[in-house]
Structure 1
């Protein structure tokens, strides 16, 4: 017993100092590690604080002050002040329109900055999506107010503006800058987009006045657009590789490598802020459309089809011209034609579904004149793209076509329910458009 107890005491005497020293060393090690981690955390926090104090003003300067177009930003708050002080809808509409222009351009800039971190294919899709954010916001506000014709005409005008004005200006400026060479682009990708646009025209022609058929066709078009995204981003990504990557323009690209000016989190934050500000101004813009039409003696159709899309496409316009001047026509087509495809296959059907949810009878029943204009435009652009080359003369023709369309909508008047119906027999009637002679 003694031996056992003694052994036990000896063991305990030997173990106690060993455990205490080990525990002491562990505590010291933990204290050292905690101090080290705390110092690293303090250093990181101080670095983050200093970094944020530098990054935030720099990001504000780059996004809000660096570009010359930001001189138009004060027109937005001025429009809101005029709305509450004077109530003159014409000036409220004009200042809101001007104030949205730099916001749309800055949305495109923030999307391009984010595209540096996502890659060219996803970046082009983001550019088209956020480039159309202005049109979607204006359309939702107009739907909320029951202005279905404004929604239809503004989205139609956005397609026409992208395909004729934006693409035409890009081809024209690119052809002037690169006068000595023929600019080329990926013909296969352009033809896929042209086919989708023709499908959209078919979707607009067939539903006629049936609201249920319009909603069914819209769901089908949304499925087609989702399939197109899978085709573009997953199954056939190589079809959308820019021609420059295949060795056509290598030396110029190495000299013109660009780097992002803001981080991806800053780009996401600015996209959120700019989208909210566009939403606010869009509400005042939509409320002043009818008053502006009366004040300026200008048809609502011309405001919806021509003026609103030009403002909404400011980002696409600037981006397409810039990339054409850099001889990157594949990105130009991705912006201009891709945006038109997205509006026709996604935004218009999306508005039909949103109107369905809101209880608004938004449908695909575009007037005969509008549907014919869209169909001819798609055919003209498809013929321009079939060779896979561009020059300044093609761009000039597209611009002149857009001027003809703009003049036509300036004198166009929607047919009323009573007149402009030509009765063929007891069962069928066809509605024709009428022109106001000035």
Structure 2
């Protein structure tokens, strides 16, 4: 009898089965599905959206300590219309752009968490130097070609000497018991690209100063435009080389360590989760870019007036002050990674940014100037080109051993001080008589 009852029970269970699943299980799955839809609907409800927006604003605009400088941007706009004092407008704009540049780098890093390493590398290449590009394009539109040239040159010098020097110095003091090591092969590739950029800038300057052009004043512009197209092609090839065909060449030097250390690093990487969503990062990139564009307009318009009001050469403002603002994000992140003994990332930030500016941003400005009908060329004048050439050689010698310490960092910082002092006493030959008179009022020439 017991066996008959068991058979009946089994037949009843089979009878209530649909597509191989019991009805009870089926109902539970249905309720779970409805519950998940309700959770999704609730997550997109008005209250949730409002809290998400407030949280995003807090993370991007309030949480970071550098955001205490944000009010200087609106103050610069107010001073522009109320007082018209170019000196104050310039320095307030300069201070106001600094946190925006750092937050732009933060939003780019957050977006790169969703796009993966390949697209993330392209995003960093595009937005890493967005501040310099925006300032340069606005100045180019106003015909201030020398400001464009000198600010981009100063950004290269700042990244290679000041940013890299501070990173080596801070990392060397933190790890004073040893020499820090990095991937020498990737550093050599970047040094070669920087030397190629020096070649592109050197020949138009030599043509100009030796008066050996076929058509005076036109041949150097034509050569600059051709060289810029070649440099853009070389940079595109470099991106493919770095991100696709030879990715292993850019692996950190310690990627060949024991499996236990690799697992620990993978766990650390997994812990680093994005703080904002993908669409929030995109929106913040757009908002920050627009605000930097607005402040860049006031900044560029006030350069000439600021130079006259504070008795400071335009060359010094363009080469030293403007790049320090544009490199605020690179400066902070490079030092942070060096102190964590991640010098390969530090080199990617500092030297990689210099490579981007020299091989992409400068040729891009020449091509855009060509479209605008502006005579933007690669003739950065003899003094500026010589400064860049010597800087590239100094940094290449520093990187050839594949090691770093605080003394190398100190030497790079001191080299940057020499460069800054040189541009403070440098008379730009293309600035005209009024600027020479300004210099003569500052310094007594024999």
Q: With the length of structure 1 as denominator, give the TM-score of the two structures.
A: 0.84
- Tell me the secondary structure at the aligned position of residue 374 of structure 2: coil
Match of 2:186 in 1: 189
Query: In 2 relative to 1, CA 327–417 (structure 1 residues): closer, same or farther, beyond 3 Å?
Result: closer
Partner residue of 1:139 out of 132, 136, 139: 136
Match of 1:47 in 2: 43
Separation of aligned partners in 2, 1:320 and 1:286: 27
Separation of aligned partners in 2, 1:255 and 1:192: 29
Match of 1:317 in 2: 331
Alignment of 1:29-428 (within 5 A): 44-49=40-45, 50-120=47-117, 122-208=119-205, 209=208, 210-247=220-257, 250=262, 253=265, 254=267, 257-415=271-429
- Tell me the secondary structure at the aligned position of residue 312 of structure 2: coil
Structure 1 regions of 5+ residues with no counterpart?
1-34, 420-434
Structure ID, larger Rg: 1
Does the CA contact (< 8 Å) of 2:121 and 2:243 recur in 1? no
Superposed CA offset, 1:10-40 (max 9, x none):
xxxxxxxxxxxxxxxxxxxxxxxxx999997
Does the CA contact (< 8 Å) of 2:225 and 2:367 recur in 1? yes
> Displacement of 1:170 after TM fit?
0.6
- Tell me the secondary structure at the aligned position of residue 135 of structure 2: helix
> Displacement of 1:326 after TM fit?
1.1
Separation of aligned partners in 2, 1:370 and 1:53: 51
- Tell me the secondary structure at the aligned position of residue 187 of structure 2: helix
Separation of aligned partners in 2, 1:259 and 1:372: 45
Q: With the length of structure 2 as denominator, give the TM-score of the two structures.
A: 0.83
- Tell me the secondary structure at the aligned position of residue 297 of structure 1: coil
Separation of aligned partners in 2, 1:415 and 1:157: 18
The number of residue pairs the alignment matches comes to 390
- Tell me the secondary structure at the aligned position of residue 246 of structure 1: coil
> What's the RMSD between the two structures over aligned residues?
2.4
Structure 2 regions of 5+ residues with no counterpart?
1-30, 209-219, 434-441
- Tell me the secondary structure at the aligned position of residue 243 of structure 1: coil
